[in-house]
C-alpha cells in the first residue's frame, strides 16, 4: 500500500517511518509547519530541518504551513494529506502517535474524511522500549526542546544515548513525567537514521532557556557522508 508519513523530524515520526518501510510503500513525507510554538497538534522545534532530512533519505516532502489555531489547524492538515493523495497516490497515512488520544483521533478523522487508512505503528508502545529501540537500530537523536521540570538547559542539544535514557526513566518515576515526552515534556530532532543515505551535521546552533523550558535552535546544518 502506498502511504505518506506525517513527519516532524523528531524521533517518533522517524521511528514510525522506519517501521512502515518494512511493510508498506512509503512514497512521501507530510510536514505541517506551525506558526504557533504551542500547537496542540504539531511538533515545532527545528521543523525547518525536515527539508534537509527529506533530502538525506531521498524522499519527496509535502509541506504546508498553518497558523496553529486549535482545531482550525486540522484544515491545514487535511490540505496537506489531500495534496499527498493527489500528487503521490497515497492510500494511507502513517503517524508517530504513541499515547496522545487528542492527536490520534484527529488524524483518524481527517483520514476518514479523505477515505484513507491511518496506521499508528507505535501506539501504546512502552516508552523506554521505544527509546532503547531507536538507539539499538542506529538512530542519532538529540533533544531539541524541554518544557517541564526537572529538565535543565544542559538537556538542550543532548544526544539520546544510554545515560540519557537511564536518566529519563528515573525522572519518569520520580517526577511523574513521560520519559519519551508524550506529555509534551521534551521534543527531539533526528540527525541520522538507518534509512538516511547521509547524516545531518549541525554547523550552527543556539540554546534558549527560560524558567522551566527551552529550545535548541539549529540555524545551520549540512549533509555529511556516513
Q: What pLDDT, in 10s, does the model give residues 147-191?
A: 999 999 999 999 999 999 999 999 999 999 999 998 889 999 999
Q: 222 or 102: whose pLDDT is higher?
A: 222
Sign of CA dihedral 95, 98, 100, 105: positive
Residues 30, 93: contact at Cβ < 8 Å? Answer: yes
pLDDT for 116 beyond 70: yes
pLDDT for 82 beyond 60: yes
Question: What does residue 205 show for φ and ψ, rounded to 5 degrees?
Answer: -160, 170
**Per-residue confidence at 42, pLDDT binned at 50, 70, 90?**
low
Instruction: Tell me which DSSP letter residue 153 carries.
Output: G
Per-residue confidence (pLDDT) for residue 103, from 0 to 100 = 80
- DSSP H or E stretch at residue 71: none
- Over range 91-97, report the average pLDDT: 96
Sheet (strand 199-210) strand order = 186-192, 140-146, 213-224, 199-210
What residue ranges define each of the domains in the chain, with the CATH number in brackets? 2-119 (3.40.50.620), 127-224 (3.90.1490.10)
pLDDT for 8 beyond 70: yes
Q: What pLDDT, in 10s, does the model give residues 10-30?
A: 999 999 999 999 999 999 999
Give the span between the Cα atoms of 138 and 17, in whole angstroms. 14
pLDDT for 37 beyond 70: no
Per-residue confidence (pLDDT) for residue 6, from 0 to 100 = 97
pLDDT for 69 beyond 80: no
Give the span between the Cα atoms of 131 and 168, in whole angstroms. 10
Mean pLDDT of the chain: 93
Report pTM.
0.94
pLDDT for 68 beyond 80: no
Query: Angle between the 127-136 and 11-23 helix axes, to the nearest 10 degrees?
Result: 70
Give the span between the Cα atoms of 105 and 84, in whole angstroms. 20
The C-alpha cell at 71 is 482545531
Residues 91, 67: contact at Cβ < 8 Å? Answer: no
Q: Which residue has the cell 476518514?
A: 112
Per-residue confidence (pLDDT) for residue 183, from 0 to 100 = 82
* Burial bucket for residue 206 (CB in 10 Å: 0-12, 13-18, 19+): exposed
- Over range 199-223, report the average pLDDT: 96
Per-residue confidence (pLDDT) for residue 157, from 0 to 100 = 97
Amino acid at each position: 500500500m502506498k502511504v505518506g508519513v506525517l513527519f516532524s523530524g523528531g524521533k517518533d515520526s522517524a521511528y514510525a517511518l522506519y517501521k512502515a518501510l518494512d511493510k508498506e510503500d512509503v512514497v512521501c513525507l507530510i510536514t505541517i509547519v506551525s506558526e504557533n510554538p504551542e500547537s496542540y497538534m504539531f511538533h515545532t522545534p527545528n521543523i525547518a530541518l525536515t527539508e534537509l532530512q527529506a533530502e538525506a533519505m531521498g524522499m519527496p516532502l509535502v509541506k504546508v504551513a498553518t497558523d496553529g489555531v486549535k482545531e482550525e489547524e486540522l484544515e491545514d492538515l487535511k490540505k496537506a494529506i489531500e495534496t499527498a493523495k493527489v500528487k503521490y497516490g497515497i492510500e494511507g497515512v502513517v503517524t508517530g502517535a504513541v499515547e496522545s488520544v487528542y492527536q490520534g483521533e484527529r488524524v483518524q478523522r481527517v483520514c476518514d474524511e479523505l477515505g484513507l487508512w491511518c496506521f499508528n505503528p507505535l501506539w501504546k508502545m512502552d516508552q523506554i522500549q521505544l527509546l532503547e529501540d531507536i538507539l539499538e537500530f542506529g538512530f542519532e537523536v538529540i533533544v531539541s526542546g524541554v518544557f517541564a521540570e526537572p529538565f535543565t538547559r544542559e538537556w538542550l542539544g543532548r544526544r539520546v544515548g544510554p545515560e540519557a535514557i537511564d536518566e529519563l526513566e528515573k525522572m519518569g518515576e520520580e517526577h511523574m513525567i513521560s520519559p519519551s515526552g508524550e506529555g509534551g515534556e521534551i521534543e527531539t530532532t533526528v540527525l541520522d537514521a538507518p534509512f538516511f543515505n547521509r547524516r545531518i551535521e549541525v554547523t550552527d546552533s543556539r540554546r534558549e532557556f527560560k524558567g522551566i523550558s527551552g529550545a535548541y535552535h539549529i540555524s545551520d546544518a549540512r549533509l555529511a557522508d556516513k
